[in-house]
Amino acid sequence: MPIRALVVDDAVVMRRMIGAALATDADIEVVGVAAHGRIALQLVSQLAPDVITLDVEMPELDGVSTVRELRRSGCRTPVIMCSALTTTGAEATLDALAAGANDWIAKPAQSGSMAEGVARLAAELLPRIRVLVRSGAPAREPSSAPTPLVRPRVAPARVAPTVAPGLLVIATSTGGPNALADLFQAIPRPLPIPVMIVQHMPPVFTKSLADRLGRDSAHRFHEAEAGQVLRAGEVYIAPGGRHMEVERVGAQMQVALHDGPPENSCRPAADVLLRSAARTMGPQLLACVLTGMGHDGLRGCEQVRASGGQVLAQDERTSVVWGMPGAVVNAGLAHEVLALGDLAGAIARRASPLPLSATG
């Protein structure tokens, strides 16, 4: 059976482009189109689509309000937001993700040709649709309650850390903005170590994400800048479109940014940051891989383990997509595999200045 898609956008040209992009996959069928959210809500009940692509800014009922109505009605159909690369688009997209959308893509630039736009949309949309529909990805759910561990194909190496970490690195992608919000809201006080994050997002979006996370938690977030000195209790998010590394300059650790080639089709890439952090921190590195599509972070976690660092991974049940953490777990690299609601405590315990051999 083909995957049934509903395309929602107020622009006729964009509806056509998305439809053409989806038509390049024989396993996807566009069963309906809508010009705004009110029509979309009617079509969802009539057509029962398997996935919805949803514009952010529309008349009558915008994308954020449409997501809220869908989730309020009990609809669990995966929703992929389509956003313009603007500050307004970034803020609205983050609102939609918080309301229950599963993922998002950036609309192609208007300066390109129709063929280029269709190709870009296909490259962005098709893998997301296949993964979200196949995995039955959940919309956002409260993550504070402990959940049983999913038994990985390769058991985690449960080794109690013997060295207190001096740096936490977090890698995430699909589902990451909500996971990060939940994680840091569950950590009531700033950590006694710096935190560096790679979240797969383009420019503009990472700045909006840092601002939002800082507003909603007790932690101070930055979109990282080159040469910035890492300070305990502060959080640095890799800027969209640039790789981030950590380097030691004298007694200080600093942010290094560069425009090297994408890795795992990503820039920023978690592997780039994790490799540099493993070189710089050795056994004083704590890595955490959260929900995300693909396997970015796998090679970097190999280096973390080789240097004596610790690796935590989010479990399958609480991940929107168990690609990135699943790759790490199934390679036997995770010391613990935990539900999102349990990761905050695990991180806080390891970051404690108390002897960790007693706390595990």
Residue 148 has pLDDT above 50, yes or no: no
CATH, residue 338: 3.40.50.180
Chosen domain end from 135, 150, 182: 135
Q: Is the same domain home to 107 and 214? A: no
Same domain, 43 and 97: yes
Do 339 and 263 fall within a single domain?
A: yes
Residue with the bigger pLDDT between 137 and 339: it is: 339
Residue 30 pLDDT class (50, 70, 90 cuts): very high
- Residues 284-297 have pLDDT tens digits of 999 999 999 999 99
Task: Tell me which of 49-53, 142-146, 243-247 is least confident.
Answer: 142-146
Q: What is the CATH number of the domain that holds 9?
A: 3.40.50.2300
pLDDT: which is higher, 87 or 359: 87
Domain that residue 236 falls in: 167-351
Distance CA 74, CA 244 (A): 40
Select from 179, 180, 200, 170 the least CA-distant residue to 300.
170
How far CA 139 is from CA of 11, 97, 182, 318, in Å, comes to 26, 9, 14, 10
159 part of a folded domain: no
Q: Are residues 297 and 249 in the same domain?
A: yes
Task: Over range 123-143, report the average pLDDT.
Answer: 75
Q: Are 229 and 105 within one domain?
A: no
Report whether the peptide linkage leading into residue 59 is cis, meaning its omega lies within 30 degrees of zero: no
pLDDT of residue 146: 37
Do residues 156 and 336 lie in contact, with contact meaning Cβ atoms separated by under 8 Å?
Answer: yes
123 lies in some domain: yes
Give pLDDT, residue 156.
52
- pTM for the structure as a whole: 0.89
Q: Give a yes or no: residue 151 inside a domain.
A: no
DSSP code at position 261:
P
232-236 long-range contacts (CB < 8 A, ≥24 apart) are 232/190, 232/191, 232/192, 232/193, 232/194, 233/190, 233/191, 233/192, 233/193, 233/194, 234/190, 234/194, 234/195, 235/184, 235/194, 235/195, 235/196, 235/197, 235/210, 236/194, 236/195, 236/196, 236/197
Question: Is position 217 annotated as part of the catalytic site?
Answer: no
Residue 16 lies in a domain: yes
Q: Mean pLDDT across the stretch 188-214?
A: 95
Whether 173 sits among the annotated catalytic residues: the reply is yes
Q: Are residues 203 and 252 in the same domain?
A: yes
pLDDT value at position 209? Answer: 97
In the structure encoding, which two tokens stand for residue 153, read together? 């194909």
**219 and 339 share one domain:** yes
Among 173, 208, 276, 319, the active-site one is 173
Number of structural domains (the chain) is: 2
Q: Determine, yes or no, domain membership for 157.
A: no
| pLDDT of res. 34 | 97
Considering the domain architecture, whether residues 219 and 265 belong to the same structural domain is answered as: yes
- Report yes or no on 360 lying in a domain: no
Contact in structure between 103 and 177 (CB atoms under 8 Å): no
Q: Which residue has the higher pLDDT, 150 or 219?
A: 219
Instruction: Check whether residue 122 and residue 250 sit in a common domain.
Output: no
Catalytic annotation, pick one of 182, 296, 315, 342: 296
Q: Say if 29 falls within a structural domain.
A: yes
Task: Say if residue 207 is in the same domain as residue 86.
Answer: no
pLDDT band at 150 (very low <50, low <70, confident <90, very high): very low
Q: Order the strands of the 3-8 sheet from edge to edge.
A: 28-34, 3-8, 51-55, 79-83, 103-106
- Are 172 and 228 in a shared domain? yes
Q: How confident is the model at residue 274 (pLDDT cuts 50, 70, 90)?
A: very high
**Per the domain annotation, does 146 fall within a domain?**
no
- pLDDT confidence bin for 335, thresholds 50/70/90: very high
Range 134-161 average pLDDT: 48
10 and 96 both lie in a single domain:
yes
- Mean pLDDT, residues 240-260 taken together: 96
pLDDT (0 to 100) of residue 232: 96
pLDDT for residue 257 is more than 60: yes
- Confidence band, pLDDT 50/70/90 cuts, at residue 244: very high
Mean pLDDT of the chain: 90
Quick one: pLDDT at residue 101? Answer: 97
pLDDT of residue 143: 39
Among candidate residues 62, 83, 200, 217, the one labeled active-site is: 200
Residue 337: pLDDT over 50: yes
pLDDT (0 to 100) of residue 136: 62
Residue 147, pLDDT > 80, answer no
